[in-house]
Chain A
Amino acid sequence: MDTLAPLVLLTPLAGFLVNALFGRVLPRRVVGWIGAGSIGLAFVFALVALSQVLGGQRLDQTYFTWWQSADFNVPFNLYLDQLSTLMILVITGVGFLIHVYSVGYMREDPGYSRFFAYMNLFVFTMLLLVLSGNLLWLIIGWAGVGLSSYLLIGFWFERTSAVLAARKAFVMNTIGDVGMVFAAFLIFLNLRVLDYQGLFSRVHQLPKGGVVITAICLLLLLGAVAKSAQLPLHTWLPDAMEGPTPVSALIHAATMVTAGVYLVARMHLLYDWAPAAAATVAVIGGLTALFAATIGTSQVDIKRILAYSTMSQIGYMFLAVGIGAYAAGMFHFMTHAFFKALLFMAAGNVIHAFHDDQDIRHMGNLRAGLPITFWTFLIGTLSISGFPLFAGFFSKDEIIRAALSAPGAEFWLGVIALITAGLTAYYMFRLFFIAFGWEWLSHDDRHLHEALPVQTVPIIILAVGAVVGGYVPVASFLSPVFGHAVEVGAGAFIGLAALSVLVALVGFLTAYLLHARRPDLALVWRARLGPIHTLVEHKYYVDELYDRVFVRPGLALARFLNDIVEPRVIDGAVNGVADFFLLEAREFRLIQTGRVGTYALWTLGGAIGVVLVVAAFLGYLPVRLGG
C-alpha cells in the first residue's frame, strides 16, 4: 500500500516527462500510447489500491520531510482513505477514457505531444492534490491543476480568445489560491500543524463556530469557489471552453472543477465545527445551481451549455457537502463525472462533424449520421436530467432528499434544488432536440461521419457508467470517512423520488413542446419574456459588471501608476538608489589598482584592524568592546 500510492502518482508524472522531453521526436503513435497508457497504468494501480482499501487498509505514510525548521514541519505524506480512493479511481478511470478519446480527437493537431504532456501533467497534479496528506502539498497540487488548466485552455495559443480565456481562468483561480494560502497560514498559526492527521485531531481545540475556525473555512471556501466555478467566481468556466474538447471533458467537467467539493469533504471536520461557513457553502451551491441552470436555458453554444450545466451540477454537490450530506455530494461527483465526460466527448464528435461549428442551431438530425454519438448523448441527457433508474437520478435525488428532510432553512435549498432539476431537464432536452433532433434544418447528412472507434468506445463505456453508476454503494463505501447517513423511510423515499421525477418530466415536456413540436411557441414565449430572456441570455451581465467594477478601474489605476507614479516617483527613487550604489561601487573599484604593493598594504591594514579589535577587547584602547 505504501508503494502503491506513489506508483499511482508517479506514472502520470513519468508520462509527462517522457512526452515533454522527447515528445517531439517520438512518433505520434508512441506519444499517444504513452499519454493514455500512463493513465491506464495509474488506473490499474488505483484499482489495486481499491481492493486493499476494501480490505480495510488505510494509508498515511510520510515518505520524506520536505522542509523542517523549528516546529514548522512539512512532510511529504500521502493519505489514502476511502474518499481519496474514490477520487483517484474517477480521475484515472475517466481520465484514461478521455486520454484514449484524445488519441483520436487530437490526431491531426500539430501540438499532439504537447497536448498529451499537458494532460499527463494535469492528471499528476490532480492526483497530488487528492493524495496529499497535508495542506502544503494540497496547495501545490491545487496550483498545479490551475497551471495545467491554464496551459490547456490556452492550448491553441494562436487564437486571441483562447489566450484571454486562459488568462481569465488563471486570474480567477489565483484569487482562490490566495484564500487557500491564507487558510493554511491561519491553521498553522493557531494549531501549529499542516498535516491532516494532526489538523483533524487538533481542530476541536478551537472554539466551535468561533471566528478563527469560521475564517479558516471561509478562506478554504474561497479557494473551492474559484476552482469549482461557483458564484461569484464562476465567469471563467464558460470561457474555458476555448480549450480542446477532451480538456473540457476531463478538467472542466469531470475532475478539476470538482476539487472544491473534494476540499470541503476532506475538511468536513472543520466545516462541522464552523456551521456558519458550512451554511455559506450550501447557500452558494444552491444559488449557483439555479443561476447556472437558468443561463443554460438560453445559450446556443453546445459547449457553453454544457459548461453552465457543469456549474449547476457542482452547485448541487456544494449544496450537499454544505448541509453535511458529504457522501451524497461525492456520489453525485462520481455519477456526474460519468455523464458529463460522456456529454462533452459526444459533443466533441458533433463539433468535429460540423467542422468546429459549436452553434446548436446549425446542427440537427444526427441520428442517421452519428448513431453512436446520438444514442450515447441521449443516455447522458437522461442521466443528468434525473430520469428514473439512470445514475443521475439516484445521486441527485439523494441530495434533494437530504436538503428537504433537513430541519430548518435547508428546506428552501431543497426547493431550489428541485426547481433546478426541472430546469436541468428542460435545458438538456432543449439542447438535445435542437442539436440532435429529428427536425431537418439545413444540412445534408451525407457529409456527417461518425467518429473513429477510438473516440466512440470510451463514450460507450461511460454511457454504461451513466446508467449503472447509480447502483454503486458509494455512501456505504465512504461511511468510514463521513459516518453513516441518516436512513430515510421507504415512504418518504418513494414520495420524494416521485416528486423529482415529476419535476424532470415537466422540464422534458416543456422542452419537447417548445423545441421539438411547436418551435413557433418558443419564439412567442421568448418575445413575451423579453427583458428576462435578455438578462439570462447575457448571463445576468456578470461579466459586464466585473468589467466595470474591477477590470476597468484596475486598468485605469494601472495606467495612472504607469504614466504618473512609475516614471516620477518609483523610477526616481529606484534610479537614485541604484545610482548611489553604482557611484559607491566605482569608488571601491579604484582600490583594485593591480599593484601587488597596494594589495599587501591592504592585507596589512586588515591585520592591523584585527589587532586593534583585540586591543579594544583587552582594554588597551579607549573604546571598550564586549565584556
Chain B
Amino acid sequence: MTINISGIGIDYGAILPELVVAGTAIVVLFLELVVPPDRRRWLAAVTVIGLLGALVATIPLWGQNRSAFGDTVIADSLAVFFNVLLIAITIATVAISPRYLHALDLDYGEYYILILGATAGMMLLAAATSLMTIFLGIELLSISLYVLSGFARTTLRSQESALKYLLLGGFATGFLLYGMALIYGATGSTTLRGIAAFTTAASSNAAGNVLLLLGIGFLSVGLAFKASAAPFHMWTPDVYEGAPTIVTTFMSVATKSAAFAAVGRVFIATFPSISSRWYFPLALIAIFSLFIGNLVAITQDNIKRMLAYSGIAHAGYILLGVLPGTAQAFSATLFYIAAYSVMNFGAFAVVTAVAAGGEQNADLSHWRGLFYRRPFLATVMTIFMLSLAGIPPTVGFFAKLFVFQALVNAQIWAPLIVAVIMTIVSFYYYLRVIVIMLAAPDEVAVEKRPLGIPTSTVLGVAGLATVVLGIFPAVVLDWATRAASLHF
C-alpha cells in the first residue's frame, strides 16, 4: 500500500506557529546544557524570542481557512485569535518567571521547556479539527502541566498537587477517550468535518443516536475537566494552591482558554444541528460552576484557593456564551476569554509578585495593609478584582454584559438569572480582597524591594489593558466577532 502524501495535505505553513514554539522548546533544551546555572535568565530571553517568532508566524494566518494534514488541523481566524492570546499569556508568564523561580530556588531550564510544551499543546488544541489532534493537544498540555505542578520538588504540597492532578487528569482523560471512541463508532469519522457531515445528514437521525449522544456527553466531561467547570472542578483548588504560583498563573488562564477553543469547535461548529441535545448538560455544568465557584469562594481565606474558585465560576460565565450555539454568542465567549485572561493573569501575577517578595503563604491575612506596603501591587490588584467582579469601567464589565446580552437575545433565562444572582454574590469575595488590602496595617513598614522591570511592566500593561479595554471594548470585540464568525 502506498501512501499519497500530497493527498494528506501536508502544509507546514498552517502549523508554523506551533512548530516554532515546539522548536524553541528543543533549542532551549540544548541551551540548558551549556548555559551556566547562574545565567539561566538567558533561557527566558530565548523563550520570549521564540514566542515572538511564533507570534509573527501566526499573524498571516488571520482570515485564512487552511485545512491541513488530512483535515486534522486548520489555520483560521479562530486559531489565530487563540494563538495570539496564548502566546501573549506565555510571554507574560515567562517575563515574570525568572525572579519568582530565583526566589524559590527553582531556577531550572526544564521549566521553560515545559511551559513551551504546554503552549504548543494549547495552540494545537485551538487549531485542532479532529478528535485525534484534540486529544494530542490535550495530552501535550496536560503532561507538561502535571510536571510543572510538581516543579517545586522539595515542597510537599507541590508534589501532592502534581499527583492529584495526574490521577484525576488520567481519570478524566479516560472519559474523554471513551467519548471519542463512541463518537467514532457512531459516525465513522474522526475529523470534525466528517462528524458534522454525519450529524447533518437527514438519514442519520443524530438526535436519537445513543452512541453519539453518550460520546458527546463523555467528551464534554473531559473538556469540562480541563476548563475546571463544576462538578469536574474538584482538582482545581488543591492543584492551584499546591502548584508553584507562577505555574498556577499560567494554567489558570491558558488551559481554560485552550479548552474553550475546543469546546467552541466541537459544540458550535460540529454539532449545531443537535444543539437541543447538548444544550441541557452544558447548561447544567454552567449553572453548577456558577453556583459552586461563587459560593465556595466566599469562605476561602487563601487567595490562591479563592482565585481557583473564582476561576471555576468564570468557567461558568464563559460557558454561558456557548449555550445559544450561535457565532454571535460565541464571539461573546471569545471576548470573555480574552478579558478573563488579562484580568485573571494579572491577579495571579500579583499573587506571584507578593510570593516572590517573601510571603510564600498565600493566606489572605498576610495581605492586610498591602496598600501601605506595596501601593503599586495593591492598586493593580484592585483593578483586577473590580474587573473580575464586573464593575465598569473595566473589561470585566463588558465581558459579562456581552455574554448576558447573548443569552437575552437567545431567550435563555434560567442560566442568566443564576449568573446575575451569582455575580452579586461574587462581589463579596472580590471586594473583600480590596477591603483587606486597604485595612490599616498592624505595623507600617514600607517595603522597598523592587519588583523588577519585567514584572512591573507586565502588571502595568495588564492593569492598563483592563481599564482601557473597559472603555474601548470594541477593538477586541471586533476581533472576537471575526474570529467567531469566519469559521462557521
Q: Are B172 and A585 in contact (CB under 8 A)?
A: no
Q: Which of B208, B276, B297, B474 contacts A65 (CB 8 A)?
A: B474
Given A67-B473, A584-B295, A596-B164, decide whether A607 and B276 contact each other with a Cβ distance below 8 A. no
Would you give the shortest CB distance from A189 to chain B, in whole angstroms? 18
Closest chain-B Cβ to A579's Cβ sits at a distance in Å of 11
B contact residues around A589 at 8 Å (CB)? 296, 299
Is B292's CB under 8 angstroms from A596's CB? no
Q: Is B237 an interface residue (CB 8 A)?
A: yes
| Cβ contact within 8 Å between B295 and A596 | no
> Does A573 have its Cβ within 8 Å of any Cβ on chain B?
no
A618 at the interface (CB under 8 A from B): yes
A585 close to B167 (CB less than 8 A): no
- Interface of chain A residues 596 through 618 with chain B (CB within 8 A): 596, 598-600, 602-603, 605-607, 609-611, 613-614, 617-618
Give the nearest-CB partner of B478 in chain A. A65
Interface string of A560-590 (1 = CB under 8 A from B): 0000000000000000001001101110110
Which of B235, B281, B297 is the one whose CB lies under 8 Å from A613?
Answer: B281
Contact with A610, one of B221, B234, B237 (Cβ below 8 angstroms): B221
Interface residues in A223-256 (C-beta closer than 8 Å to B): none
A402 to B472 Cα, complex, angstroms: 46
In the complex, per-residue mask of B166-193: 1 if CB is within 8 Å of any chain A CB, else 0: 0110011001000000000000000000
- Chain B residue with Cβ nearest A625: B280
B231 touches A606 (CB 8 A): yes
Q: Measured between alpha carbons, how far is A364 from B117 in the docked complex, in Å?
A: 84
Chain A residues with Cβ below 8 Å from B214 are 611, 614
| A606 CB contacts on chain B under 8 angstroms | 221, 224, 231-232, 285
CB-contacts of B148-175 with A (<8 A): 163-164, 167-168, 171-172, 175
Judge whether A627 and B276 touch: CB under 8 Å: yes
Residues of A within 8 A of B284 (CB): 609, 613
Please measure, in the bound complex, the distance between the C-alpha atom of A64 and the C-alpha atom of B477, giving whole angstroms: 13
Which of B234, B277, B292 contacts A617, CB < 8 Å? B277
Would you call B221 and A607 a contact (CB within 8 A)?
A: yes
Decide: A67 and B296 in contact? CB cutoff 8 A.
no
Instruction: Report whether A610 and B473 are in contact in the complex, using a CB–CB cutoff of 8 Å.
Output: no
- Complex contacts, A622 vs chain B, CB 8 Å: none
- Is B330 part of the binding interface, using a Cβ–Cβ cutoff of 8 Å? no
Q: Does A3 contact B (CB under 8 A)?
A: no
- Report A520-556 CB contacts with B as 1/0, cut-off 8 Å: 0000000000000000000000000000000000000
Known: A613-B281, A618-B208. A599 touches B235 (CB 8 A): yes
**Interface status of B413 (Cβ within 8 A of chain A):** no
Contact B221 A626 (CB under 8 A): no
Please give me the residue from chain A that is nearest to B291 by CB atom.
A588
Chain B residues within 8 Å of A610, by CB: 217-218, 220-221, 281
Cβ of B474 and Cβ of A596 under 8 Å apart? Answer: no
Contact in complex: A67, B474 (CB < 8 Å): yes
Contact A66 B221 (CB under 8 A): no
Is A473 engaged at the interface, CB distance under 8 Å to the other chain?
no
Q: Say yes or no: is A201 at the interface (Cβ < 8 Å to chain B).
A: no
* Candidates A582, A592, A600, A617; contact of B168 at CB < 8 Å: A600
In the bound complex, what is the Cα–Cα distance between A69 and B398 (angstroms)? 12
Knowing A67-B474, A603-B172, A626-B277 are in contact, say whether A585-B213 is a contact too (CB < 8 A). no
Interface mask (B276-292 → A, CB under 8 Å = 1, otherwise 0):
11001100110000001
Which residues of chain A are near B57, meaning CB under 8 Å? none
Q: Is the CB of A617 within 8 A of B280?
A: yes
Taking a contact as CB atoms under 8 Å apart, the answer to whether B425 and A603 are in contact is: no
Closest Cβ of chain B to A604, distance in Å, is 8
Q: Which residues of B contact A588 (CB under 8 A)?
A: 292, 295-296
A606 to B276, CA, bound (A): 20
Produce 1/0 per residue, A56-77, CB < 8 A to B: 0000000011111100000000
A613 and B280 contact, CB distance less than 8 A = yes
Q: Mark A358-380, 1 if CB is under 8 A from B, else 0.
A: 00000000000000000000000
Asked whether any CB of chain A lies closer than 8 Å to the CB of B11, the reply is no
B309 to A: closest C-beta gap in Å: 9
Question: A594 in the interface, Cβ–Cβ < 8 Å?
Answer: yes
Complex CA distance for A625 and B277, rounded to whole angstroms:
9
B221 touches which one: A586, A592, A603 (CB < 8 A)?
A603
* B405 contacts chain A at the CB level, 8 A cutoff: yes
Known: A64-B474, A66-B472, A627-B276. A602 touches B296 (CB 8 A): no
CB neighbours (8 Å) of A68 from chain B are 474
Q: Pick from B232, B292, B472, B474: contact of A603, CB below 8 A.
A: B232
Measured between beta carbons, the chain A residues less than 8 angstroms from B168 are: 596, 599-600, 603
Q: Which residues of B contact A599 (CB under 8 A)?
A: 164, 168, 234-235
Chain A residues with CB under 8 Å of B238's CB are 592, 594
Which of B167, B217, B237, B277 sits near A611, CB closer than 8 Å? Answer: B217
Contacts of B296 in A (CB 8 A): 585, 588-589, 592
Q: In the complex, A69→B217 CA distance in Å?
A: 34
Q: Check if A582 sits within 8 Å of B298, measured CB to CB.
A: yes
B164–A618 CB distance below 8 A? no
- Bound Cα distance A610, B210 (Å): 13
Nearest-Cβ distance from residue A76 to partner chain B, whole angstroms: 9
Bound complex: CA of A606 vs CA of B284, how far in Å?
Answer: 10
Cβ–Cβ contact A69 & B405, under 8 A: yes
The CA of A589 and the CA of B306, in the complex, are separated in Å by 12
A170 CA to B171 CA in the complex, in Å? 61
- CB pair A600–B472 under 8 Å, yes or no, is no
- Per-residue CB contact flags for chain B residues 188-208 toward chain A (1 = under 8 Å, else 0) read 000000000000000000001
Which residue of B163, B208, B213 has the most chain A CB atoms within 10 A of its CB atom? B213
Whether B171 contacts A617 by the Cβ 8 Å rule is: no
In the bound complex, CA of A594 to CA of B235 (Å): 9
Q: Which residues from chain B contact A602 at a C-beta distance below 8 Å?
A: 231-232, 234
* Least CB distance, B426 to chain A, in whole angstroms: 11
Give the distance to chain B from A599, nearest Cβ to Cβ, in Å. Answer: 4
Point out the residues of chain B lying under 8 angstroms from A64, CB to CB.
472, 474
Chain A min CB distance to B260 (Å): 18
Asked whether B12 is an interface residue with its Cβ less than 8 Å from the other chain, the reply is no
CA distance A339 to B428 in the complex (A): 55
Measured between beta carbons, the chain B residues less than 8 angstroms from A581 are 295, 298, 425, 428
Q: Which residues of A contact B164 (CB under 8 A)?
A: 596, 599
A585 touching B298, Cβ below 8 Å: yes
Complex: A611 Cα to B214 Cα, angstroms: 6
- The verdict on B225 contacting chain A, using a C-beta distance below 8 Å, is yes
Q: Which residue of A lies closest to B295 (CB)?
A: A585
For A586, the chain B residues whose CB sits under 8 A away are 299
Pairwise interchain contact B167-A596, C-beta atoms closer than 8 A? yes
Residue of B nearest to A597 (CB): B167
Measured in the bound complex, the distance between the Cα atoms of B168 and A598 in whole Å is 10
User: Nearest B residue to A606 by beta-carbon distance?
Assistant: B231
Looking across the interface, which residue of chain B has its beta carbon closest to that of A591?
B234
A570 to chain B, nearest CB (A): 15
Min CB gap A609→B, angstroms: 7
Residues of A within 8 A of B405 (CB): 69
Q: Which residues of B contact A605 (CB under 8 A)?
A: 231
Query: CA of A625 to CA of B167 in the docked complex: distance in angstroms?
Result: 34
Q: How far is the CA of A589 from the CA of B285 in the complex (A)?
A: 18
CB neighbours of A607 from chain B (8 A): 175, 217-218, 221
Give B402's nearest chain A residue, CB to CB.
A69
Q: Which B residues are CB-close (under 8 A) to A598?
A: 234
Q: Please determine whether B299 and A614 come into contact, CB atoms closer than 8 angstroms.
A: no
Complex: A617 Cα to B209 Cα, angstroms: 11
Q: A68-B474, A625-B280, A627-B276 are in contact. List 16 more A-B contacts (CB 8 A).
A: A65-B474, A67-B474, A578-B428, A581-B298, A581-B428, A585-B296, A588-B292, A591-B234, A603-B234, A610-B220, A610-B221, A613-B284, A614-B210, A614-B281, A617-B280, A618-B208
Q: Can you report 16 A-B residue pairs in the complex whose CB atoms are below 8 A from each other?
A: A586-B299, A589-B296, A599-B168, A603-B168, A603-B171, A603-B221, A606-B221, A606-B224, A606-B285, A607-B221, A611-B217, A614-B210, A614-B217, A618-B208, A625-B280, A627-B276
Give the 9 A-B CB pairs with smallest separation, nearest first: A599-B234, A610-B217, A606-B231, A585-B295, A585-B298, A614-B213, A585-B299, A607-B221, A613-B281
